[in-house]
Amino acid sequence: MENQELLARAIEKWGIEAQQKQVIEECSELITAILHRQRGKCTDADVVTEIADVSIMCEQMKLIYGARRVDAEIQRKLHRLKERLGYVVEADDTTHSGHLHDETSVLQKGGEK
Ligand SMILES: [Mg+2]
């Protein structure tokens, strides 16, 4: 079963309202994990778990609100971010974000600002 199909089944089983409450709960858990991490009360792995939970719920929100609309908005915001970071943005460069992609996390690179 594809991930998208699995997520769609979750929405069918529990309903849109319940999944929207769940995304709120998962966001809250991520906020708490980041705050606890900053105080040394949990590990990076705990934060990673909460990031995964939020990501899964955001994928469900995309299915509810329209993945194409969300993806288009993500591209628009990445384009704006590129401009704010001083990258030269070409006229037809709104669909490619690959140049900024890097599998290494900022923490692994040894620097958080
Ligand atoms: Mg969670």
Percent of the chain with pLDDT over 90: 77
- CA 37 – CA 28 distance, rounded (Å): 14
Domain boundaries, the chain: 1-65, 66-107
Q: Ligand 1 centroid vs 37 CA: distance in angstroms?
A: 15
Angle at 18 between CA 17 and CA 24, to 5 degrees: 95
- CA 109 – CA 104 distance, rounded (Å): 7
Q: Ligand 1 centroid vs 49 CA: distance in angstroms?
A: 7
Residues near 60 by beta carbon (within 8 Å), at least 6 away in sequence: 7, 10, 11, 19, 23
Is it the case that residue 88 has pLDDT exceeding 80?
no
Q: Ligand 1 centroid vs 40 CA: distance in angstroms?
A: 18
- CA 17 – CA 106 distance, rounded (Å): 35
Name the residue with higher pLDDT: 99 or 1. 1
Is it the case that residue 73 has pLDDT exceeding 80?
yes
Claim: this prediction has a pTM higher than 0.85: no
Structure tokens at 48: 């990673």
Q: Ligand 1 centroid vs 23 CA: distance in angstroms?
A: 9
pLDDT digits (tens, 9 = 90+) for 21-53: 999 999 999 999 999 999 999 999 999 999 999
Alpha helices in the chain (DSSP H): 3-14, 16-38, 44-65, 67-84
Is it the case that residue 104 has pLDDT exceeding 70?
no
Q: Ligand 1 centroid vs 51 CA: distance in angstroms?
A: 8
pLDDT digits (tens, 9 = 90+) for 3-23: 999 999 999 999 999 999 999
